[in-house]
Structure 1
């Protein structure tokens, strides 16, 4: 779950809808200066569906100890350091399921999703709040994900159409693209209010690489520079549920309010200036 705090309400965006927004962004990533990475169909699958495993979890959202929605917020953009608020075993179970669900339909996508998961839980994570038992469980999970990536690569090496794209260079490019689109969706999803950058530097058609600046302009309007999309202005419709803060007095009341809340489409505009 991803959340925006307002004066009297929470706007809540599910993980799968966040990933779908990342996928819509990915579809527009092509112009005279930027090309989509290859193999794009598989990379798009990973980008648009990397959070499919959260469907059941998000249908019954949880509350933190402070009785706030347990969700990704503006304060967490760029880091994963709220492990004290979650059940680590449950959380890693959902993350592991993301790899396995993808492996059934698209093993290449599953490799990228697993790479994304490992990066989130190592490079981007603050593990200082974990005890020794949880650290050992975390390490076993990461080792398992890396082994799973190798198993999926070995299987795909037998497929002539996909084997050329199993190089470290191609997989890294796909992974970086997924994370750029993911970071765009997270920034938009929490209504990030400060200038930032999408994850990683990205190749231009001339062979150079560049980071892409994310510049909030207010009223859900964002500028990207340099601009990687195919139209001067792209409009996205983002589906939130609005839950009043008074509904978080108990878990039962919160879950009932969330289930009853209608979808509220928020218009997000992205442009080159």
Structure 2
């Protein structure tokens, strides 16, 4: 679950909805910024499906007693998170081999600096998976694979940008992850700089340089779950009882 706390409520966004938004963004990515159009549909599938491991977990939000907020994707207990990451990539692999390779690379990148033994076991398993999946593509273009991997990371981060920021936030008030642009997007910038985004107003976003081939809009489903309702019935029931809402966001140059 993606959580943004406001005065008397929590904005709660399911991970799979955020991932769908990732796909909707990348659907409009300029083809000229990639080495070729080979495997683009597979990379797009990876963006849409990369967080399917959270579908079951997000059905029942759980409470973080220490922080006094619902658990989020970033602080969710490690062992179940690792187990469900593996399950999610397994499910993607049964449908699309190339997409599962991208998702495996994506999740492995989260723990690349970790010394935790459970993370190291996860990384070892995913490295084995990646090696086996690459054998399915004897003429694999490693440069294009790297572009698609960075594109998946960008789609994830741009969607998170929409989820974690107050709509219309000034640059200095943005979530700290994004104030200096999107990491690992230099290959999509003509001057080898990170792509930068900003809110034009509470309904519009633009990027510099603009990496999409047209203006378009996306829809973000979310729930506003009040702290009073959580206190009354607990986080799981409060989430169920809260109505799903939708935010439309326009992208333009």
Q: So what's the TM-score if we normalise by structure 1?
A: 0.80
- 1:214-225 aligned at under 5 Å gives the runs 214-225=197-208
How much has 1:202 moved relative to structure 2? Answer: 4.9
The residue number in structure 1 matching 2:169 is: none
Change (3 A) 1:204 1:95: closer
- CA distance in 1 between counterparts of 2:119 and 2:99 reads 23
Any unmatched runs of 5+ in structure 2? 167-172
- CA distance in 2 between counterparts of 1:174 and 1:201 reads 11
1:268 aligns with 2:252: no
The residue number in structure 2 matching 1:238 is: 220
How much has 1:214 moved relative to structure 2? Answer: 1.3
Maintained 8 Å contact 1:46/1:178: yes
- CA distance in 2 between counterparts of 1:237 and 1:200 reads 25
How much has 1:249 moved relative to structure 2? Answer: 2.9
Maintained 8 Å contact 1:3/1:12: yes
**1:227 pairs with one of 203, 210, 229:** 210
How much has 1:52 moved relative to structure 2? Answer: 0.8
After superposition, the C-alpha distances for 1:53-89 in whole angstroms (9 at most, x for unaligned) are: 11110001111123311125xxxxxxx6x4xxx3221
The residue number in structure 1 matching 2:183 is: 199
| 3-state SS in 1 of match to 2:69 | coil
The residue number in structure 2 matching 1:69 is: 70
How much has 1:170 moved relative to structure 2? Answer: 2.0
| 3-state SS in 2 of match to 1:122 | coil
Any unmatched runs of 5+ in structure 1? 73-79, 158-162
- CA distance in 1 between counterparts of 2:219 and 2:129 reads 35
- 1:1-273 aligned at under 5 Å gives the runs 1-30=1-30, 34-35=33-34, 38-65=38-65, 66-72=67-73, 82=75, 86-123=76-113, 127=114, 135-154=116-135, 156-157=136-137, 163-164=138-139, 166-191=140-165, 193-194=173-174, 195-203=179-187, 209-231=192-214, 233-249=215-231, 253-272=234-253
Change (3 A) 1:205 1:56: closer
**RMSD after superposition:** 2.3
- CA distance in 2 between counterparts of 1:237 and 1:87 reads 29
Q: So what's the TM-score if we normalise by structure 2?
A: 0.86
After superposition, the C-alpha distances for 1:204-239 in whole angstroms (9 at most, x for unaligned) are: 598x755311123341432200001122x3221100
- CA distance in 2 between counterparts of 1:111 and 1:239 reads 28
List 4+ stretches of structure 1 deviating above 6 A.
none
Maintained 8 Å contact 1:234/1:271: yes
After superposition, the C-alpha distances for 1:169-223 in whole angstroms (9 at most, x for unaligned) are: 12211100000111100111112643441231354598x7553111233414322
Work out the number of aligned pairs and report it.
241
